[in-house]
A and B are shown apart, each in its own frame.
Chain A
Amino acid sequence: MTISSLLRLGALALGLVAGAVPAAAQPAARMVLIPAGTYAPLLRTTKDAAQVPVAAFLLDELPVTNADFLAFVTANPKWRRSQVSGLFADSSYLEHWTGDLEPGAKAPPGAPVVRVSWFAARAYARWAGKRLPTTAEWELAAGAGYTQADGRTDEALKRDLYAWLARPVPAVQADAATARRNFHGARGLHGLVWEWVDDFNTAMVTGESRGDTGLERDLFCGAGAVGAKDTTDYAAFMRGALRSSLQAKNTTTALGFRCAKNLP
Protein backbone atom coordinates (compact mmCIF):
# COMPACT_ATOMS: atom_id res chain seq x y z
CA MET A 1 0.00 0.00 0.00
CA THR A 2 1.46 3.33 -1.01
CA ILE A 3 1.56 6.40 1.16
CA SER A 4 -0.94 8.15 -1.05
CA SER A 5 -3.45 5.31 -0.85
CA LEU A 6 -3.00 5.31 2.92
CA LEU A 7 -3.70 9.02 2.88
CA ARG A 8 -6.80 8.46 0.85
CA LEU A 9 -7.99 5.81 3.26
CA GLY A 10 -7.41 8.18 6.12
CA ALA A 11 -9.21 10.95 4.34
CA LEU A 12 -12.08 8.62 3.59
CA ALA A 13 -12.33 7.62 7.23
CA LEU A 14 -12.22 11.26 8.17
CA GLY A 15 -14.98 12.03 5.71
CA LEU A 16 -17.14 9.25 7.05
CA VAL A 17 -16.67 10.28 10.65
CA ALA A 18 -17.14 13.93 9.85
CA GLY A 19 -20.18 13.24 7.72
CA ALA A 20 -21.88 11.21 10.40
CA VAL A 21 -21.90 13.79 13.15
CA PRO A 22 -23.57 16.77 11.53
CA ALA A 23 -26.13 14.45 9.98
CA ALA A 24 -27.15 13.27 13.41
CA ALA A 25 -27.65 16.77 14.75
CA GLN A 26 -29.09 18.31 11.68
CA PRO A 27 -32.70 18.27 10.51
CA ALA A 28 -33.19 16.47 7.23
CA ALA A 29 -34.36 19.06 4.75
CA ARG A 30 -36.21 17.79 1.73
CA MET A 31 -34.69 18.86 -1.57
CA VAL A 32 -36.30 19.14 -4.96
CA LEU A 33 -34.75 18.71 -8.38
CA ILE A 34 -34.51 21.85 -10.47
CA PRO A 35 -34.01 20.71 -14.06
CA ALA A 36 -31.36 22.28 -16.26
CA GLY A 37 -32.41 25.50 -17.91
CA THR A 38 -31.26 28.95 -18.84
CA TYR A 39 -31.28 32.10 -16.80
CA ALA A 40 -31.69 35.38 -18.60
CA PRO A 41 -30.24 38.08 -16.35
CA LEU A 42 -32.56 41.02 -16.03
CA LEU A 43 -29.78 43.55 -15.85
CA ARG A 44 -26.62 42.97 -17.71
CA THR A 45 -23.68 44.78 -19.12
CA THR A 46 -22.93 44.72 -22.80
CA LYS A 47 -20.37 42.03 -22.04
CA ASP A 48 -22.71 39.71 -20.15
CA ALA A 49 -24.24 36.71 -21.86
CA ALA A 50 -27.94 37.10 -22.55
CA GLN A 51 -28.57 33.50 -21.56
CA VAL A 52 -26.71 31.72 -18.78
CA PRO A 53 -26.98 27.95 -18.93
CA VAL A 54 -27.71 26.38 -15.54
CA ALA A 55 -27.09 22.69 -14.85
CA ALA A 56 -29.71 20.66 -13.02
CA PHE A 57 -29.29 20.86 -9.23
CA LEU A 58 -31.02 20.14 -5.95
CA LEU A 59 -32.65 22.92 -3.96
CA ASP A 60 -34.17 22.83 -0.49
CA GLU A 61 -37.93 22.59 -0.76
CA LEU A 62 -38.29 25.20 1.99
CA PRO A 63 -36.21 28.06 3.28
CA VAL A 64 -34.13 27.23 6.37
CA THR A 65 -36.37 27.56 9.41
CA ASN A 66 -35.74 28.78 12.94
CA ALA A 67 -35.76 25.17 14.12
CA ASP A 68 -33.10 24.27 11.54
CA PHE A 69 -30.99 27.25 12.47
CA LEU A 70 -31.32 26.47 16.16
CA ALA A 71 -29.76 23.06 15.48
CA PHE A 72 -26.91 24.81 13.67
CA VAL A 73 -26.13 27.33 16.41
CA THR A 74 -26.44 24.61 19.02
CA ALA A 75 -23.76 22.59 17.23
CA ASN A 76 -21.62 25.63 16.34
CA PRO A 77 -21.30 27.97 19.32
CA LYS A 78 -19.39 30.60 17.41
CA TRP A 79 -22.55 31.30 15.39
CA ARG A 80 -24.67 32.00 18.48
CA ARG A 81 -25.92 35.54 18.78
CA SER A 82 -23.79 36.37 21.79
CA GLN A 83 -20.65 34.88 20.30
CA VAL A 84 -20.71 35.72 16.63
CA SER A 85 -17.91 37.96 15.38
CA GLY A 86 -19.01 41.42 14.24
CA LEU A 87 -17.05 40.77 11.10
CA PHE A 88 -19.42 37.98 10.09
CA ALA A 89 -22.77 39.39 11.25
CA ASP A 90 -23.99 42.86 12.15
CA SER A 91 -25.55 43.77 15.46
CA SER A 92 -29.09 42.79 14.50
CA TYR A 93 -28.12 39.17 13.84
CA LEU A 94 -30.94 36.98 15.25
CA GLU A 95 -32.08 40.01 17.22
CA HIS A 96 -35.67 38.79 17.28
CA TRP A 97 -34.71 35.55 19.04
CA THR A 98 -35.31 35.47 22.78
CA GLY A 99 -31.87 34.08 23.53
CA ASP A 100 -28.86 32.33 22.05
CA LEU A 101 -30.65 29.00 22.00
CA GLU A 102 -34.24 30.17 22.37
CA PRO A 103 -35.90 31.41 19.20
CA GLY A 104 -38.98 32.42 21.19
CA ALA A 105 -42.39 33.70 20.18
CA LYS A 106 -41.21 35.99 17.39
CA ALA A 107 -39.38 33.14 15.68
CA PRO A 108 -41.68 30.10 15.48
CA PRO A 109 -39.87 26.83 14.72
CA GLY A 110 -41.42 26.38 11.28
CA ALA A 111 -40.97 29.95 10.10
CA PRO A 112 -38.03 30.92 7.88
CA VAL A 113 -35.05 32.16 9.86
CA VAL A 114 -34.32 35.81 9.12
CA ARG A 115 -31.74 38.32 10.37
CA VAL A 116 -28.93 36.07 9.24
CA SER A 117 -25.85 37.24 7.38
CA TRP A 118 -24.39 35.78 4.20
CA PHE A 119 -21.47 34.42 6.22
CA ALA A 120 -23.88 32.70 8.61
CA ALA A 121 -25.98 31.32 5.77
CA ARG A 122 -22.86 30.00 4.09
CA ALA A 123 -21.58 28.44 7.29
CA TYR A 124 -24.95 26.76 7.80
CA ALA A 125 -24.88 25.38 4.28
CA ARG A 126 -21.38 23.99 4.75
CA TRP A 127 -22.39 22.42 8.02
CA ALA A 128 -25.34 20.80 6.28
CA GLY A 129 -23.05 19.47 3.53
CA LYS A 130 -24.64 21.84 1.04
CA ARG A 131 -24.00 25.27 -0.42
CA LEU A 132 -25.96 28.40 -1.21
CA PRO A 133 -27.54 28.55 -4.66
CA THR A 134 -26.04 30.94 -7.20
CA THR A 135 -28.10 33.85 -8.47
CA ALA A 136 -28.65 32.00 -11.75
CA GLU A 137 -29.81 28.85 -9.95
CA TRP A 138 -32.10 30.72 -7.59
CA GLU A 139 -33.66 32.78 -10.34
CA LEU A 140 -34.12 29.71 -12.52
CA ALA A 141 -35.93 27.88 -9.71
CA ALA A 142 -37.98 30.93 -8.80
CA GLY A 143 -38.85 31.62 -12.42
CA ALA A 144 -41.29 28.72 -12.42
CA GLY A 145 -45.00 29.28 -11.94
CA TYR A 146 -47.34 27.17 -9.84
CA THR A 147 -48.38 24.97 -12.69
CA GLN A 148 -45.91 25.65 -15.47
CA ALA A 149 -42.14 25.87 -15.81
CA ASP A 150 -42.29 29.47 -17.05
CA GLY A 151 -43.79 31.68 -14.38
CA ARG A 152 -43.88 34.78 -16.54
CA THR A 153 -47.27 33.86 -17.89
CA ASP A 154 -48.62 32.45 -14.63
CA GLU A 155 -51.14 35.09 -13.59
CA ALA A 156 -51.79 33.50 -10.18
CA LEU A 157 -48.09 33.60 -9.32
CA LYS A 158 -47.73 37.20 -10.46
CA ARG A 159 -50.76 38.24 -8.42
CA ASP A 160 -49.40 36.57 -5.27
CA LEU A 161 -45.91 37.90 -5.84
CA TYR A 162 -46.96 41.52 -6.19
CA ALA A 163 -49.40 41.25 -3.31
CA TRP A 164 -46.49 40.03 -1.17
CA LEU A 165 -44.21 42.84 -2.31
CA ALA A 166 -46.91 45.33 -1.36
CA ARG A 167 -47.34 43.94 2.16
CA PRO A 168 -45.17 45.18 5.02
CA VAL A 169 -42.83 42.62 6.60
CA PRO A 170 -44.86 40.79 9.26
CA ALA A 171 -43.68 40.94 12.87
CA VAL A 172 -43.69 37.16 12.93
CA GLN A 173 -42.94 35.20 9.76
CA ALA A 174 -45.48 32.62 8.62
CA ASP A 175 -44.75 28.92 8.73
CA ALA A 176 -42.72 28.06 5.64
CA ALA A 177 -44.73 24.94 4.97
CA THR A 178 -47.84 27.02 4.30
CA ALA A 179 -46.32 28.35 1.09
CA ARG A 180 -47.68 26.99 -2.16
CA ARG A 181 -45.53 24.60 -4.15
CA ASN A 182 -44.21 25.81 -7.48
CA PHE A 183 -43.89 23.75 -10.63
CA HIS A 184 -40.63 22.17 -9.41
CA GLY A 185 -41.96 21.45 -5.92
CA ALA A 186 -40.08 24.25 -4.17
CA ARG A 187 -42.08 26.38 -1.79
CA GLY A 188 -41.84 29.95 -0.64
CA LEU A 189 -39.30 31.20 -3.18
CA HIS A 190 -41.71 34.09 -3.48
CA GLY A 191 -44.03 35.23 -0.76
CA LEU A 192 -42.11 34.42 2.43
CA VAL A 193 -38.72 36.08 2.72
CA TRP A 194 -35.93 37.33 0.46
CA GLU A 195 -33.13 34.83 0.18
CA TRP A 196 -29.34 35.06 0.10
CA VAL A 197 -27.52 33.73 -2.93
CA ASP A 198 -23.89 32.69 -2.91
CA ASP A 199 -22.78 35.26 -5.47
CA PHE A 200 -24.86 38.17 -4.18
CA ASN A 201 -21.77 40.32 -4.50
CA THR A 202 -21.74 40.09 -8.27
CA ALA A 203 -24.75 42.40 -8.34
CA MET A 204 -22.66 45.50 -8.66
CA VAL A 205 -23.60 46.91 -11.99
CA THR A 206 -27.01 47.68 -10.59
CA GLY A 207 -25.45 49.22 -7.51
CA GLU A 208 -25.67 52.77 -6.41
CA SER A 209 -22.97 55.12 -7.55
CA ARG A 210 -21.70 55.98 -4.11
CA GLY A 211 -18.60 54.19 -2.86
CA ASP A 212 -16.57 52.20 -5.28
CA THR A 213 -19.25 50.28 -7.05
CA GLY A 214 -20.68 52.92 -9.29
CA LEU A 215 -20.34 52.84 -12.99
CA GLU A 216 -17.46 55.25 -13.11
CA ARG A 217 -14.70 53.57 -14.99
CA ASP A 218 -12.05 54.50 -12.45
CA LEU A 219 -13.90 53.00 -9.58
CA PHE A 220 -15.02 49.84 -11.15
CA CYS A 221 -13.09 47.93 -13.75
CA GLY A 222 -15.09 46.74 -16.71
CA ALA A 223 -18.11 48.93 -16.16
CA GLY A 224 -20.16 48.75 -19.27
CA ALA A 225 -23.51 49.88 -20.44
CA VAL A 226 -26.27 48.42 -18.41
CA GLY A 227 -29.45 47.37 -20.07
CA ALA A 228 -32.58 45.84 -18.71
CA LYS A 229 -34.02 42.97 -20.67
CA ASP A 230 -37.55 43.04 -19.44
CA THR A 231 -38.65 46.18 -17.72
CA THR A 232 -41.93 44.63 -16.65
CA ASP A 233 -40.22 42.25 -14.26
CA TYR A 234 -40.43 44.62 -11.32
CA ALA A 235 -39.83 41.90 -8.73
CA ALA A 236 -36.53 40.93 -10.34
CA PHE A 237 -35.46 44.59 -10.22
CA MET A 238 -36.20 44.58 -6.53
CA ARG A 239 -34.16 41.43 -5.94
CA GLY A 240 -31.27 42.88 -7.91
CA ALA A 241 -31.46 46.13 -5.98
CA LEU A 242 -31.54 44.30 -2.67
CA ARG A 243 -28.55 42.12 -3.53
CA SER A 244 -26.49 45.04 -4.71
CA SER A 245 -27.25 46.97 -1.53
CA LEU A 246 -26.10 44.23 0.81
CA GLN A 247 -22.84 43.59 2.54
CA ALA A 248 -22.03 40.04 3.54
CA LYS A 249 -22.43 40.74 7.24
CA ASN A 250 -25.82 42.47 6.92
CA THR A 251 -28.97 41.01 8.39
CA THR A 252 -32.52 42.18 7.79
CA THR A 253 -36.00 41.37 9.06
CA ALA A 254 -37.02 39.67 5.85
CA LEU A 255 -33.85 38.07 4.52
CA GLY A 256 -33.33 34.35 4.97
CA PHE A 257 -31.89 31.61 2.77
CA ARG A 258 -32.15 28.03 1.59
CA CYS A 259 -29.46 25.61 0.49
CA ALA A 260 -28.62 23.91 -2.77
CA LYS A 261 -26.53 20.96 -3.76
CA ASN A 262 -25.02 19.54 -6.92
CA LEU A 263 -26.63 16.42 -8.25
CA PRO A 264 -24.79 13.34 -7.00
Chain B
Amino acid sequence: MKTTALCLLLATVALGAETPAADCCKEKPAAKQDACCAEKAAPKPDACCAAMETATFSKDSIYQSDVTFTDDTGRAVALGSLRGRPVMLDMFFASCGYACPLTVTDMLAIQERLPAEQRSQAVFVLVSFDTVRDTTEVLAKYRAQRGLDGQWIILRGDDDAVRELAALLGVKYKQEADGMFSHSNVVTILNREGEIVHQRQGLKGGLDEAVAALAGLAAAK
Protein backbone atom coordinates (compact mmCIF):
# COMPACT_ATOMS: atom_id res chain seq x y z
CA MET B 1 0.00 0.00 0.00
CA LYS B 2 3.00 2.26 -0.25
CA THR B 3 1.71 4.03 -3.30
CA THR B 4 -1.61 4.74 -1.70
CA ALA B 5 0.17 6.23 1.25
CA LEU B 6 2.20 8.38 -1.09
CA CYS B 7 -0.89 9.66 -2.80
CA LEU B 8 -2.54 10.41 0.53
CA LEU B 9 0.58 12.18 1.64
CA LEU B 10 0.52 14.21 -1.55
CA ALA B 11 -3.12 14.99 -0.93
CA THR B 12 -2.29 16.27 2.51
CA VAL B 13 0.49 18.40 1.18
CA ALA B 14 -1.67 19.56 -1.68
CA LEU B 15 -4.41 20.70 0.63
CA GLY B 16 -2.23 22.70 2.93
CA ALA B 17 -3.37 26.19 2.03
CA GLU B 18 -0.03 27.77 2.75
CA THR B 19 2.06 25.30 0.81
CA PRO B 20 3.12 26.91 -2.44
CA ALA B 21 4.71 23.64 -3.45
CA ALA B 22 1.35 22.09 -4.05
CA ASP B 23 -0.18 24.80 -6.21
CA CYS B 24 -0.40 22.42 -9.08
CA CYS B 25 -2.77 20.15 -7.28
CA LYS B 26 -4.49 22.56 -4.94
CA GLU B 27 -7.06 24.11 -7.19
CA LYS B 28 -7.72 21.14 -9.34
CA PRO B 29 -10.80 19.05 -8.87
CA ALA B 30 -10.57 15.45 -7.87
CA ALA B 31 -10.42 14.12 -11.41
CA LYS B 32 -7.29 16.10 -12.17
CA GLN B 33 -5.64 14.94 -9.01
CA ASP B 34 -6.39 11.38 -9.90
CA ALA B 35 -4.54 11.87 -13.14
CA CYS B 36 -1.76 13.56 -11.24
CA CYS B 37 -0.93 10.49 -9.25
CA ALA B 38 -2.50 7.65 -11.13
CA GLU B 39 -0.82 8.08 -14.48
CA LYS B 40 2.77 8.55 -13.63
CA ALA B 41 3.02 8.16 -9.89
CA ALA B 42 4.95 4.99 -9.30
CA PRO B 43 8.28 5.83 -7.69
CA LYS B 44 7.95 9.58 -7.34
CA PRO B 45 5.40 12.37 -7.52
CA ASP B 46 4.52 13.34 -11.07
CA ALA B 47 6.34 16.00 -13.03
CA CYS B 48 3.87 18.75 -12.30
CA CYS B 49 3.97 18.29 -8.56
CA ALA B 50 7.71 17.77 -8.51
CA ALA B 51 8.40 20.92 -10.49
CA MET B 52 6.19 22.98 -8.24
CA GLU B 53 7.77 21.65 -5.11
CA THR B 54 11.14 23.05 -5.93
CA ALA B 55 10.28 26.13 -7.90
CA THR B 56 9.28 29.62 -7.07
CA PHE B 57 8.99 31.45 -10.33
CA SER B 58 9.28 35.17 -10.92
CA LYS B 59 6.09 37.17 -11.00
CA ASP B 60 6.22 37.54 -14.78
CA SER B 61 7.14 33.95 -15.49
CA ILE B 62 4.62 31.96 -17.48
CA TYR B 63 6.03 28.94 -15.64
CA GLN B 64 3.82 29.96 -12.73
CA SER B 65 1.11 28.23 -14.70
CA ASP B 66 0.69 24.65 -13.56
CA VAL B 67 -0.33 23.22 -16.93
CA THR B 68 1.45 20.13 -18.15
CA PHE B 69 1.96 18.69 -21.59
CA THR B 70 3.19 15.46 -23.13
CA ASP B 71 6.06 15.33 -25.60
CA ASP B 72 6.38 13.26 -28.75
CA THR B 73 7.89 10.39 -26.78
CA GLY B 74 5.00 10.34 -24.32
CA ARG B 75 6.95 11.96 -21.50
CA ALA B 76 5.08 14.43 -19.22
CA VAL B 77 6.52 17.93 -19.44
CA ALA B 78 5.65 20.70 -16.98
CA LEU B 79 6.10 24.15 -18.48
CA GLY B 80 8.38 24.99 -15.57
CA SER B 81 10.79 22.24 -16.60
CA LEU B 82 11.93 24.55 -19.43
CA ARG B 83 13.36 26.90 -16.83
CA GLY B 84 17.02 27.74 -17.16
CA ARG B 85 17.19 27.81 -20.95
CA PRO B 86 16.25 30.45 -23.51
CA VAL B 87 13.09 29.24 -25.24
CA MET B 88 11.54 29.96 -28.60
CA LEU B 89 7.95 28.78 -28.55
CA ASP B 90 5.32 28.45 -31.26
CA MET B 91 1.81 27.06 -31.15
CA PHE B 92 1.02 25.04 -34.26
CA PHE B 93 -0.75 21.94 -35.52
CA ALA B 94 0.78 19.19 -37.58
CA SER B 95 -1.78 19.16 -40.40
CA CYS B 96 -1.55 22.93 -40.91
CA GLY B 97 -0.96 23.67 -44.57
CA TYR B 98 -0.11 27.33 -44.55
CA ALA B 99 1.33 29.29 -41.67
CA CYS B 100 2.75 26.63 -39.35
CA PRO B 101 5.19 25.05 -41.82
CA LEU B 102 6.49 28.52 -42.70
CA THR B 103 6.96 29.38 -39.05
CA VAL B 104 8.82 26.14 -38.36
CA THR B 105 11.04 26.85 -41.38
CA ASP B 106 11.78 30.28 -39.92
CA MET B 107 12.53 28.78 -36.53
CA LEU B 108 14.93 26.32 -38.15
CA ALA B 109 16.62 29.26 -39.89
CA ILE B 110 16.89 31.07 -36.57
CA GLN B 111 18.39 27.99 -34.94
CA GLU B 112 20.91 27.76 -37.77
CA ARG B 113 21.86 31.42 -37.49
CA LEU B 114 22.63 31.32 -33.77
CA PRO B 115 26.33 31.16 -32.87
CA ALA B 116 27.23 27.56 -31.98
CA GLU B 117 27.56 28.04 -28.25
CA GLN B 118 24.31 29.91 -27.99
CA ARG B 119 22.60 27.45 -30.26
CA SER B 120 23.42 24.65 -27.86
CA GLN B 121 21.61 26.41 -25.03
CA ALA B 122 18.41 27.40 -26.77
CA VAL B 123 15.40 25.17 -26.90
CA PHE B 124 12.73 25.28 -29.60
CA VAL B 125 9.24 24.35 -28.49
CA LEU B 126 6.19 23.55 -30.59
CA VAL B 127 2.85 23.13 -28.83
CA SER B 128 -0.07 21.74 -30.79
CA PHE B 129 -3.57 23.24 -30.88
CA ASP B 130 -4.93 19.95 -32.11
CA THR B 131 -5.69 17.97 -28.98
CA VAL B 132 -7.31 15.18 -30.96
CA ARG B 133 -5.36 14.47 -34.12
CA ASP B 134 -1.88 15.42 -32.96
CA THR B 135 -1.13 12.29 -31.00
CA THR B 136 2.31 11.43 -29.70
CA GLU B 137 2.87 9.34 -32.84
CA VAL B 138 1.80 12.11 -35.19
CA LEU B 139 4.14 14.53 -33.44
CA ALA B 140 7.01 12.05 -33.59
CA LYS B 141 6.40 11.69 -37.31
CA TYR B 142 6.32 15.47 -37.66
CA ARG B 143 9.69 15.69 -35.94
CA ALA B 144 11.14 13.20 -38.40
CA GLN B 145 9.58 14.87 -41.45
CA ARG B 146 10.84 18.31 -40.52
CA GLY B 147 14.21 17.05 -39.29
CA LEU B 148 13.86 18.62 -35.86
CA ASP B 149 16.83 17.73 -33.68
CA GLY B 150 17.10 17.11 -29.95
CA GLN B 151 16.85 20.80 -29.16
CA TRP B 152 13.25 20.78 -30.27
CA ILE B 153 10.50 19.83 -27.87
CA ILE B 154 7.14 19.01 -29.45
CA LEU B 155 4.21 19.03 -27.09
CA ARG B 156 0.55 18.15 -26.97
CA GLY B 157 -1.92 18.76 -24.15
CA ASP B 158 -5.57 18.65 -23.22
CA ASP B 159 -7.98 21.49 -24.08
CA ASP B 160 -7.47 23.06 -20.71
CA ALA B 161 -3.70 23.21 -20.98
CA VAL B 162 -3.66 24.41 -24.59
CA ARG B 163 -6.18 27.16 -23.88
CA GLU B 164 -4.32 28.36 -20.84
CA LEU B 165 -0.97 28.49 -22.63
CA ALA B 166 -2.58 30.35 -25.53
CA ALA B 167 -4.06 32.84 -23.08
CA LEU B 168 -0.67 33.36 -21.45
CA LEU B 169 0.92 34.04 -24.82
CA GLY B 170 -1.96 36.13 -26.17
CA VAL B 171 -2.59 33.63 -28.94
CA LYS B 172 -6.13 33.37 -30.25
CA TYR B 173 -7.27 30.22 -31.98
CA LYS B 174 -10.35 28.47 -33.08
CA GLN B 175 -11.15 25.15 -34.64
CA GLU B 176 -12.99 25.42 -37.93
CA ALA B 177 -15.76 23.10 -39.01
CA ASP B 178 -13.29 21.17 -41.19
CA GLY B 179 -11.10 20.42 -38.17
CA MET B 180 -8.34 22.86 -39.11
CA PHE B 181 -7.42 25.74 -36.83
CA SER B 182 -7.41 29.44 -37.34
CA HIS B 183 -4.81 30.96 -35.07
CA SER B 184 -2.65 33.97 -34.41
CA ASN B 185 0.83 33.71 -35.83
CA VAL B 186 2.98 34.55 -32.86
CA VAL B 187 6.38 33.19 -31.98
CA THR B 188 7.38 33.88 -28.39
CA ILE B 189 10.85 34.08 -26.90
CA LEU B 190 11.13 33.36 -23.19
CA ASN B 191 14.13 34.09 -21.02
CA ARG B 192 15.59 31.57 -18.61
CA GLU B 193 12.95 32.44 -16.05
CA GLY B 194 10.06 31.93 -18.44
CA GLU B 195 9.34 35.63 -18.90
CA ILE B 196 8.21 36.80 -22.33
CA VAL B 197 10.97 38.99 -23.73
CA HIS B 198 10.04 39.10 -27.40
CA GLN B 199 7.17 38.15 -29.66
CA ARG B 200 7.33 37.98 -33.39
CA GLN B 201 3.93 38.76 -34.87
CA GLY B 202 2.96 37.65 -38.33
CA LEU B 203 4.77 35.63 -40.92
CA LYS B 204 7.05 38.09 -42.62
CA GLY B 205 10.32 39.47 -41.37
CA GLY B 206 11.37 39.69 -37.77
CA LEU B 207 14.04 37.01 -38.09
CA ASP B 208 16.93 39.32 -37.20
CA GLU B 209 15.14 40.56 -34.10
CA ALA B 210 14.31 37.01 -33.05
CA VAL B 211 17.88 35.82 -33.55
CA ALA B 212 19.17 38.83 -31.61
CA ALA B 213 16.74 38.29 -28.75
CA LEU B 214 17.54 34.61 -28.48
CA ALA B 215 21.28 35.09 -28.84
CA GLY B 216 21.20 37.81 -26.21
CA LEU B 217 19.52 35.51 -23.76
CA ALA B 218 21.88 32.66 -24.48
CA ALA B 219 24.88 34.92 -24.02
CA ALA B 220 23.66 36.34 -20.72
CA LYS B 221 24.10 33.68 -18.11
User: CB within 8 Å of B: which residues of A?
Assistant: 3, 6-19, 21, 45, 47-49, 75-78, 85-88, 118-119, 122-123, 126-127, 129-130, 198-199, 201-205, 207, 211-213, 216, 218-224, 244, 247-248
Contacts and interface: CB of A to CB of B under 8 A. Distances in A.
Interface of B: 1, 3-8, 10-12, 14-15, 17-18, 20, 23, 25-34, 36-38, 41-42, 59-62, 64, 96, 98-100, 163-164, 166-168, 170-174, 176-178, 180-186, 201-204
Contacts of A247: 167, 170
A47 B33 CA distance: 37
A137 to B, nearest CB: 14
20 contacts: A6-B1, A6-B3, A7-B7, A7-B37, A10-B4, A11-B37, A11-B38, A14-B11, A14-B37, A17-B12, A18-B29, A47-B180, A77-B18, A202-B172, A202-B174, A203-B172, A219-B185, A221-B181, A222-B99, A222-B181
A87 B164 CA distance: 12
A205 B59 CA distance: 31
A124 B173 CA distance: 23
A221 B29 contact: no
Contacts of A18: 11, 14-15, 25, 28-30, 33
Given A13-B11, A123-B27, A87 B59 contact: yes
Given A118-B167, A122-B164, A212-B202, A13 B7 contact: yes
A11 B186 CA distance: 38
Contacts of B203: 218-219
Nearest to A75: B17
